[in-house]
A and B are shown apart, each in its own frame.
Chain A
Amino acid sequence: MTRRSLALATLLVSQAAGAASPRFVDYIYVEANEGGSSGGHAAIRFGDETYHFQHEPPGLLRLRRDDSQHFRCTYGALENRPMHVSRIGVSEAVYSRLRGAFAERYLVERETFEHREALRDDRALLEVLVARRRGDPVGSVPLRGAGFFLPDDGASPPSASALEVRRRIEEVYGRDAIPARIAEVSHELDRLVPALPEVSGPASLFTYSFSARYRDLLTALVALRAVAHALPLRPESRWPAAAGEPALDDAERRTLGAFADRLVEALPRLLHSDRPDWGFALLVGLARLATLRESQRVGRLVLLDAFPPASDVVPRSYVRQHRDALSHLLADARDEFTRARACLRAAGGIGEVDFTNLEDAGNRLLELQMALAQGRDLRVWSARLVPSRVAPAPDVIVPDVPTDTLVRALSRARAAERGFVRRLERDYRYDLVSRNCVSEIFRTVDAAGAEPGRHVDLGWSLDFIPFVSARAVNGAWNVAERTSVPSYRLARLEGMSRGGGFVRAWLRECNVVTSTIYRRNPDDSFFLLFTDDVVALRPVFGVVNLIAGLGAGALGLALLPVDGGHMAVAGLRGVVFSLPELGFVNLRKGSFDYVRRDECPVEELERH
């Protein structure tokens, strides 16, 4: 990957601070681009973690934590935005307090938003329970993990791997262990009394909600019955044996076999675990065991389908039109899978994390292979894949409480949900000046009680603006080094020019028609000329872009019945984002929906 690292200055602070500064924190200012990123952005990085506040619908500001390389690839390559990194030298203690403050804020905020989901789940569950009590069989209760074994067709032969686990449970806990546990869990479900959530006042975070308890118990019941009846794995919940990949050799089969044997030993313990969600862990374990035993039997790796139902979907039309991009992704995925598979040959066997990595890499590879081979939609998921196939509970058990209690709880749940959503919208609202991606970084630093330099005061200053904030940081904090990372397009252009022929490369790449780097991205406005690497000519290029936008807008009006207004909107946006160019201001840089992994910017300042 072409990189241009402009070390602007090395401004180490006092010798004393330098001597006691074994750690670095990066303040990152990301330049603007059009659309949702027109305002510039700011982030703070602690090694592998980058924290940043994002403006999200409906007008909320949320703290996000990204893997640092992922952040750089998203903003620097896909969004094609230059980044300016101020590296701040801090002591170990300051580093720890700052990172801890961001991590804690992130986790508390996440807990807060999950509380909103819990209130919504409570309300939805109570609606189902009240309806069932009144004899109305509406609604269902989705259970994670149940989809590996449900619905049970009742005709398939029992699963040999589930029988293995059942035998082991009976050896360890006795023949009655499973029926006894089913009776206990059923009894607990019957006796479950819905909690009455707080309608006003501070919400009780870090609590175990009624709906979570109900679902966990019902999931445990499904898991116990799956073992008791040795339910076979549903065929659609796993991938066919990876026929395109090399067969498992003896060493790999032994490793998988040993891991499966350990699962058989570990799963029975879940029956008496303290964890409330042990039923889900048992279902995943049973499902994995079935695929592991099948892998051993057929000599090829068999994996569960780990894509969650909420996966994003890339439409098949895109898959067909971008086979080259997907082929690169397929090659990346195969490399990842090969790396993950290497653990099967490591001495000492594998642990759960190794197996999850293999499952994750295998799922991404198989999904790409299937989408390309069959020209079908492609499921995508950016978080780690852990199998969790959902199915509705076969029975909705209504707890043995008076109907009035359920109705009262439902009424409270509705009021609590409404009230909490209102409070959330107030407490987490985005404000252009007083609560944005910059202000909250500084507030979190203040709350940590460990300043990485002089205090940055946001009151009565323009420091809330991302690019101004970077200057404030450079002036006030102990900045040891400043680096600029060019946008993806400019880095590629510089690479092309390096061997000479700058003018030729620039002429070819300065416009969207002949550019070999930029491919038209439907997310971008309509424009012809790039203005991010010209200053004097910017207004002239802006005029060309303005005229092009007007033309596209006019053409778009004619195409309205055909393209649903897409061209008209792109033209209009083209006009809007050409206006700043008339005044020497560049916002629009073009963006990419696909960048090869080896072309993502990797900064020299990775090392800490």
Chain B
Amino acid sequence: MRGAVRSLGSWLLGTLAILALAGCSISASSWSVSKSVRSSSHSSDSSSSSSPGAAERAYREDVSDYTRAFVKSGGSDFRGFRSDVARLAEEHGITDWEANAATYTAIGEGLKSAGVSGASLMAYKRNLAGGDPDKAEAIQRGYDAAR
């Protein structure tokens, strides 16, 4: 009996140690006042070390990364694309994202990094600029500037 208890104890300790050493953080279920009261917006915390323009850079990166993911997944629903860009923009505090030139240059950067070229680029520009030459030009500018 004593042996059984001892081996159960060892097993429990061993399991605990393995779980403790190997497991990953579980997302906290309870709130923390200071974590929640303060904004954790990506690169928007003005008290952080973010350089000036970091907020706009973060927005551009998000739109560019999203565009690349959209293209690489074979996405072709441009209303879905616009709807998602609207949501991304809102997370950066922008509701009038169509009037923000950074949106379209970032789309151009995303198209370039997704490897879009030639006729496909023209098709994306036509669909995403909605016939607006300024937007099409901003997409091209972003595309040309991207490495």
A597/B34 contact (C-beta < 8 A), A48-B54, A275-B98 known: yes
Number of A residues near B (Cβ < 8 Å) is 110
The answer to whether A100 touches B32, judged by C-beta atoms less than 8 angstroms apart, is no
Residue of A nearest to B23 (CB): A39
Measured in the bound complex, the distance between the Cα atoms of B99 and A95 in whole Å is 31
**Chain B residues within 8 Å of A368, by CB:** 37
The answer to whether B94 touches A353, judged by C-beta atoms less than 8 angstroms apart, is yes
Q: How distant is A351 from chain B, measured CB to nearest CB, in Å? A: 9
The answer to whether A103 touches B65, judged by C-beta atoms less than 8 angstroms apart, is yes
B144 in the interface, Cβ–Cβ < 8 Å? no
**Chain A residues within 8 Å of B50, by CB:** 48
Tell me the total A-B contact number using a CB cutoff of 8 A.
Answer: 260
Measured in the bound complex, the distance between the Cα atoms of B123 and A286 in whole Å is 35
Q: How distant is A345 from chain B, measured CB to nearest CB, in Å? A: 16
**Chain A residues within 8 Å of B28, by CB:** 36
Which interface class (under 10, 10 to 19, 20 to 34, 35 or more) fits B? Answer: 35 or more
The answer to whether A580 touches B23, judged by C-beta atoms less than 8 angstroms apart, is no
**Chain B residues within 8 Å of A579, by CB:** 13, 16
Interface string of B46-62 (1 = CB under 8 A from A): 11111000111010011
The answer to whether B42 touches A48, judged by C-beta atoms less than 8 angstroms apart, is yes
**Chain A residues within 8 Å of B56, by CB:** 353
Which of B77-130 touch A at CB < 8 Å? 77, 79-84, 86, 90-100, 113, 130
The answer to whether A207 touches B77, judged by C-beta atoms less than 8 angstroms apart, is yes
Measured in the bound complex, the distance between the Cα atoms of B25 and A30 in whole Å is 9
Q: How distant is A113 from chain B, measured CB to nearest CB, in Å? A: 13
Select the stretch in A15-23, A129-137, A162-170, A356-364 that faces chain B.
Answer: A356-364
Interface string of A266-303 (1 = CB under 8 A from B): 10010001111100110011000000000000000000
**Chain B residues within 8 Å of A466, by CB:** 21-22, 24
Q: How distant is A292 from chain B, measured CB to nearest CB, in Å? A: 14
A69/B45 contact (C-beta < 8 A), A108-B69, A333-B37 known: yes
The answer to whether A212 touches B83, judged by C-beta atoms less than 8 angstroms apart, is yes
**Chain A residues within 8 Å of B33, by CB:** 314, 318, 322, 325-326, 329, 380, 593-594
Measured in the bound complex, the distance between the Cα atoms of B37 and A383 in whole Å is 10
A108/B73 contact (C-beta < 8 A), A66-B40, A382-B36 known: yes
Q: How distant is A46 from chain B, measured CB to nearest CB, in Å? A: 10
**Chain A residues within 8 Å of B41, by CB:** 67, 360, 383-384
The answer to whether A103 touches B61, judged by C-beta atoms less than 8 angstroms apart, is yes
Q: Which one of A78, A216, A274, A276 lies within 8 Å of B34 (CB-CB)?
A: A78
Q: How distant is B138 from chain A, measured CB to nearest CB, in Å? A: 15
Measured in the bound complex, the distance between the Cα atoms of B123 and A218 in whole Å is 30
Q: Which one of B34, B62, B72, B93 lies within 8 Å of A386 (CB-CB)?
A: B93
**Chain B residues within 8 Å of A523, by CB:** 30
The answer to whether A74 touches B16, judged by C-beta atoms less than 8 angstroms apart, is no
Interface string of A44-67 (1 = CB under 8 A from B): 000011001111110001101111
A37 in the interface, Cβ–Cβ < 8 Å? yes
**Chain B residues within 8 Å of A383, by CB:** 39-41, 91
Measured in the bound complex, the distance between the Cα atoms of B38 and A368 in whole Å is 11
Select the stretch in A247-255, A432-440, A553-561 that faces chain B.
Answer: A432-440
**Chain B residues within 8 Å of A173, by CB:** none
Residue of B nearest to A69 (CB): B48
The answer to whether A39 touches B21, judged by C-beta atoms less than 8 angstroms apart, is yes
Measured in the bound complex, the distance between the Cα atoms of B66 and A65 in whole Å is 14
The answer to whether A37 touches B83, judged by C-beta atoms less than 8 angstroms apart, is no
Measured in the bound complex, the distance between the Cα atoms of B60 and A353 in whole Å is 14
Q: Which one of A52, A55, A206, A312 lies within 8 Å of B26 (CB-CB)?
A: A55
The answer to whether A597 touches B20, judged by C-beta atoms less than 8 angstroms apart, is no
The answer to whether B27 touches A32, judged by C-beta atoms less than 8 angstroms apart, is no
**Chain B residues within 8 Å of A68, by CB:** 48
**Chain B residues within 8 Å of A57, by CB:** 29
Residue of A nearest to B31 (CB): A312
A172 in the interface, Cβ–Cβ < 8 Å? no
Residue of B nearest to A591 (CB): B32
A260 in the interface, Cβ–Cβ < 8 Å? no
The answer to whether B73 touches A576, judged by C-beta atoms less than 8 angstroms apart, is no
A153 in the interface, Cβ–Cβ < 8 Å? no
A547 in the interface, Cβ–Cβ < 8 Å? no
Measured in the bound complex, the distance between the Cα atoms of B61 and A551 in whole Å is 54
A5 in the interface, Cβ–Cβ < 8 Å? no
A111 in the interface, Cβ–Cβ < 8 Å? yes
Measured in the bound complex, the distance between the Cα atoms of B105 and A115 in whole Å is 27
Measured in the bound complex, the distance between the Cα atoms of B55 and A48 in whole Å is 10
Measured in the bound complex, the distance between the Cα atoms of B113 and A69 in whole Å is 28
The answer to whether A595 touches B113, judged by C-beta atoms less than 8 angstroms apart, is no
Interface string of A185-209 (1 = CB under 8 A from B): 0000000000000000000111110
A42/B80 contact (C-beta < 8 A), A48-B43, A107-B69, A579-B13 known: no
**Chain B residues within 8 Å of A70, by CB:** 35, 38, 40, 45
**Chain B residues within 8 Å of A436, by CB:** 22-24
The answer to whether B16 touches A580, judged by C-beta atoms less than 8 angstroms apart, is yes
Residue of B nearest to A70 (CB): B40
The answer to whether B27 touches A56, judged by C-beta atoms less than 8 angstroms apart, is yes
Measured in the bound complex, the distance between the Cα atoms of B17 and A467 in whole Å is 13
Q: How distant is A43 from chain B, measured CB to nearest CB, in Å? A: 9
**Chain A residues within 8 Å of B130, by CB:** 274
**Chain B residues within 8 Å of A497, by CB:** none
Q: How distant is A118 from chain B, measured CB to nearest CB, in Å? A: 10
Given contacts A67-B43, A274-B82, 15 further A-B contacts (CB under 8 A): A38-B20, A40-B25, A70-B40, A103-B61, A104-B68, A205-B73, A205-B75, A208-B79, A318-B33, A329-B38, A333-B37, A356-B94, A386-B90, A432-B22, A606-B49
> Which residues of B approach A to under 8 Å, CB–CB?
13, 16-17, 19-50, 54-56, 58, 61-62, 65-66, 68-70, 72-73, 75, 77, 79-84, 86, 90-100, 113, 130, 147
**8 shortest interchain CB distances as A-B pairs:** A39-B23, A356-B93, A36-B26, A437-B24, A380-B36, A206-B75, A208-B80, A70-B40
21 A-B residue pairs with CB within 8 Å: A32-B20, A37-B26, A54-B26, A55-B24, A65-B42, A67-B43, A67-B48, A73-B35, A96-B147, A104-B65, A206-B73, A206-B80, A277-B86, A352-B96, A353-B55, A385-B39, A433-B22, A466-B21, A467-B21, A579-B16, A593-B33
